[in-house]
Structure 1
Amino acid sequence: MPENRSFAIFQYTLYVMHMKIILAMDSFKGCITSGEAEKAAADALKVRYPEAEILSIPLSDGGDGWLEAYSDITPCTMLNVDCHDALMRPVTAQLAVDVSGTVIIESARACGLTLIEENSRRVLRATSYGVGELLAAALRSGAKEIVVGLGGSASSDCGLGMLLALKESFGEEVFNRIRTEVRITLASDVENPLYGPRGAAVVFGKQKGAGPEEIKMLDRRAETFARASLKRFGFDYSQNKGAGAAGGLGYAFMQYLGARMEWGSDILLNKASFDEKLRGASFVLTGEGSADSQTLMGKLPVRILHMARERGVPVHLIAGRLQEANKLLDAGFASVSSINPPDMPLAEALKPERAKKNIAVAMHSLPFNQQDVSA
């Protein structure tokens, strides 16, 4: 029996020495970036598995952290742009320009919900005007390729603010100019249409501070705008997948500027050669701020899950807030867990240093096992 035990220990040691762990997380919105989350996890995993190879791939599906994640994968030059937030308060946001000349925009840097204090959120007033200012800066730089991350917006104005900013900068002809001369790709994890039972206001209005009557008003506004745009162009993209992204910004981009929609996570996963990195991986650790059944509707963790399962690689999921764990496990995650103790106040959990410590603690208790390890 001692010999068998010694052999088992020897075999497990060989397994651990050949471990390859991939960290592929989204940001924990309003708390820490994907890079910060992965560093906290990596530092703890190095203690648990000192011989393991750990690959860190900070990611985003188009919302908060999009610009940083993109520039981590592809070298970029950052440009500061003076613009306005969703309440028209002056802010300085950044654009990124990669080596090919493609301009990268994160809409949340201008109209992001996390830029607005909770007691100041006024969704009926909130505007996407700042996103138009970022686009105008990109056009002035001569951009012919633009990738826009959509998500995390405080606005639900169907992109009207963005369109107004462009019109004030270049005149009415700017819409046709962009449609014919500029290729815009939208990065998002949202498939919702502009209005209706699954529309931008009905599904996302509450988290932006809208009450029941405000949601009804926003939905009526969206439908009215779509009908007017149909008369103007002769076509209607309001029910297209992603039209409801970022409070209807997706619709304005597609209807007025000829943009096309892609999964934001897939754009970065492809750029990072994620499928190739999965070869020989023991397991993947992914994460996001809040995980529930909506995670399965195309958010970054489930996109990672689908790619990893094709390679037979287990995927573990951590989150700041976890609900409907059984549905996530049924979908195929090897484990799902919250990094926060159940009795921890939200205000404490959202402190960056606390979140990093909680991730580190989670790394020592997650149920990684020999089945996650391939020699």
Structure 2
Amino acid sequence: MSGPDAPLSRQVRGGWRDGHCVVAPDKFKGSLTAPQVAAHLATGLRRVRPDIPVVTMPVADGGDGTVDAVVESGFVRFQTSAAGPLGLPVAASFAMRGEAAVIELAEASGLRRLPVRPTCQTAMTATSYGTGELIRAAATRGARSVVLGLGGSACTDGGVGMMSALGVRFLDEHGLELPRGGAALTRLARIDASEMLQVPVIVASDVDNPLFGPRGAAQVYGPQKGARPGDIDELEWGLARLASIVERDLGADVADRPGAGAAGGVGYAALAFLGATVRPGIEIILELMSFAEQIEGARLVITGEGSLDSQTLHGKAPVGVAQAAAGVSVPVVAVAGQRSLTDEQLRRAHIEHAYALTDLEPDPEVCMAQAGPLLERLAGEIAGAWLGASAHA
């Protein structure tokens, strides 16, 4: 038996009474960043149990917010200018600790960096070039390995933009370099990788799609980037052409590898050109944050994200946090804007209970606007149910 009704004797013998509480949520997309969510939860906990140490460890799964999360855990943020998805310069950042760098594709090449709403034009011309510039900038600062978080990309260029920034030349039949964007890949004739900057890369992604085909980058993710049916066919053809030329010129046959279709094929480029490995994003981020050490002796872990739904069960941050905590027998509860997972689904994911903002406020728009105060109220409920009455109350 566990949770609010667990016998006090077990709590004492298990060390919960004198342990700390770890707050490790992901972002509430469209409302609060992961550090903001963690800060509001910590505030609510401290109001009810000021005597219990609270450790905030905002997390991410490789997508938006990954750099913010590792900076909170001790990495140093570096700001630079990089090409946005349409080639216009944007202010982007990456993080480093020692010789390890963390780069988030969405920082330079994400949908949120488009200066306009996604259209068929942006879908065909968006580039990952800026992501390659961030990798080069990190290498210039001494990075010897890169964790590359993939998610939220605006491009379907097979990672050609990224590799162009790293010195690879993609040429048409006349020996001219291709313009940026996925549409140009149909004209690819030859690849020259003789001047490529080689940097060891680990891809942080929970996407297992291949490069092309029914589950590929263009067909599955193209529509959300603005591509119409005819555009998707052209992008598909370009990605297949890229895979064929890469296999001929570089001897790399990785188009069907799980994760090759991540971020419009940036995963493929990392695999084919940089020899990258692909791992679940949350797993890598928790390692970088020394999460296992931080939860030793904890009495409770609080995780969460904007929506606890079926997608949560497929490699998202709350499940990764819960699995890590289960390894050292620390109970986990989750918070969310809304939840659709059943109690049984939560238990199978090692989450003992979930609290949603919609439990307090049924209007989703109000929940979005008032997420911070509502999270503090939920944290107070969690403190009362899971941490008991304060000796200082």
| One of 96, 102, 105 as aligned partner of 1:104 | 102
Matched, 1:268 2:285: yes
Residue 5 of structure 1: aligned partner:
none
Cα 1:12–1:252, aligned 2, differ >3 Å: closer, same or farther? closer
Supply the AA of the counterpart residue of 1:95: F
Residue 307 of structure 2: aligned partner:
290
Distance in structure 1 (CA, Å) of the matches to 2:331 and 2:266: 35
Residue 84 of structure 1: aligned partner:
83
Alignment of 1:164-243 (within 5 A): 164-167=164-167, 177-179=196-198, 182-212=199-229, 214-243=231-260
Moved more, 288-297 or 317-326: 317-326
Residue 158 of structure 2: aligned partner:
158
Structural RMSD (CA):
3.4
Residue 362 of structure 1: aligned partner:
378
Matched, 1:308 2:325: yes
**3-state DSSP class of the match of 1:178?**
coil
Q: Contact 2:63–2:151 (CA<8 Å) still a contact in 1?
A: yes
Residue 93 of structure 1: aligned partner:
92
Distance in structure 1 (CA, Å) of the matches to 2:294 and 2:101: 26
| One of 107, 111, 117 as aligned partner of 1:113 | 111
Deviation at 1:247, TM superposition (A): 1.9
Deviation at 1:366, TM superposition (A): 4.8
Moved more, 240-249 or 196-205: 196-205
**3-state DSSP class of the match of 2:59?**
coil
Residue 278 of structure 1: aligned partner:
295
Task: Give CA-to-partner distance per residue, 1:203-257, whole Å, 9 cap, x none.
Answer: 4334434455544543443233222322222231112222122221111111112
Distance in structure 2 (CA, Å) of the matches to 1:321 and 1:206: 26
Residue 180 of structure 2: aligned partner:
none
Cα 1:115–1:31, aligned 2, differ >3 Å: closer, same or farther? farther
Cα 1:138–1:12, aligned 2, differ >3 Å: closer, same or farther? closer
Supply the AA of the counterpart residue of 2:211: L
Matched residues, percent identical?
35
**3-state DSSP class of the match of 2:166?**
helix
Distance in structure 1 (CA, Å) of the matches to 2:253 and 2:9: 64
Distance in structure 2 (CA, Å) of the matches to 1:320 and 1:357: 12
**3-state DSSP class of the match of 1:27?**
coil
Residue 4 of structure 1: aligned partner:
none
Distance in structure 2 (CA, Å) of the matches to 1:223 and 1:328: 40
Deviation at 1:91, TM superposition (A): 0.7
Distance in structure 2 (CA, Å) of the matches to 1:325 and 1:220: 42
Q: Contact 1:16–1:52 (CA<8 Å) still a contact in 2?
A: no
Matched, 1:344 2:380: no
Deviation at 1:42, TM superposition (A): 0.4
Deviation at 1:10, TM superposition (A): 12
Deviation at 1:57, TM superposition (A): 1.0
Which runs of 4 or more aligned residues in structure 1 lie more than 6 Å from their structure 2 counterparts after TM superposition?
8-16, 168-173
Task: Give CA-to-partner distance per residue, 1:121-160, whole Å, 9 cap, x none.
Answer: 5323322121122223234445432222222212222212
**3-state DSSP class of the match of 1:93?**
strand
Matched, 1:72 2:92: no
Matched, 1:248 2:265: yes
Cα 1:337–1:10, aligned 2, differ >3 Å: closer, same or farther? closer
Deviation at 1:97, TM superposition (A): 3.0
Matched, 1:334 2:352: yes
Supply the AA of the counterpart residue of 2:89: P
- State the TM-score, normalized to the length of structure 1: 0.82
Q: Contact 2:130–2:162 (CA<8 Å) still a contact in 1?
A: yes
Distance in structure 2 (CA, Å) of the matches to 1:255 and 1:103: 20
Cα 1:285–1:158, aligned 2, differ >3 Å: closer, same or farther? same
Cα 1:216–1:41, aligned 2, differ >3 Å: closer, same or farther? farther
Task: Give CA-to-partner distance per residue, 1:235-293, whole Å, 9 cap, x none.
Answer: 31112222122221111111112222233322232233322333332221111233322
Moved more, 233-242 or 320-329: 320-329
Moved more, 45-54 or 244-253: 45-54
Deviation at 1:41, TM superposition (A): 0.5
**3-state DSSP class of the match of 1:164?**
helix
Residue 31 of structure 2: aligned partner:
31
Distance in structure 2 (CA, Å) of the matches to 1:31 and 1:163: 34
Deviation at 1:184, TM superposition (A): 1.9
Cα 1:10–1:89, aligned 2, differ >3 Å: closer, same or farther? same
Distance in structure 2 (CA, Å) of the matches to 1:344 and 1:202: 31
Supply the AA of the counterpart residue of 1:159: G
- Number of residues paired by the alignment? 358
Distance in structure 2 (CA, Å) of the matches to 1:372 and 1:221: 60
Deviation at 1:68, TM superposition (A): 1.9
Distance in structure 1 (CA, Å) of the matches to 2:42 and 2:106: 27
Distance in structure 2 (CA, Å) of the matches to 1:11 and 1:104: 40
Structure with a larger share of its residues in helix: 1
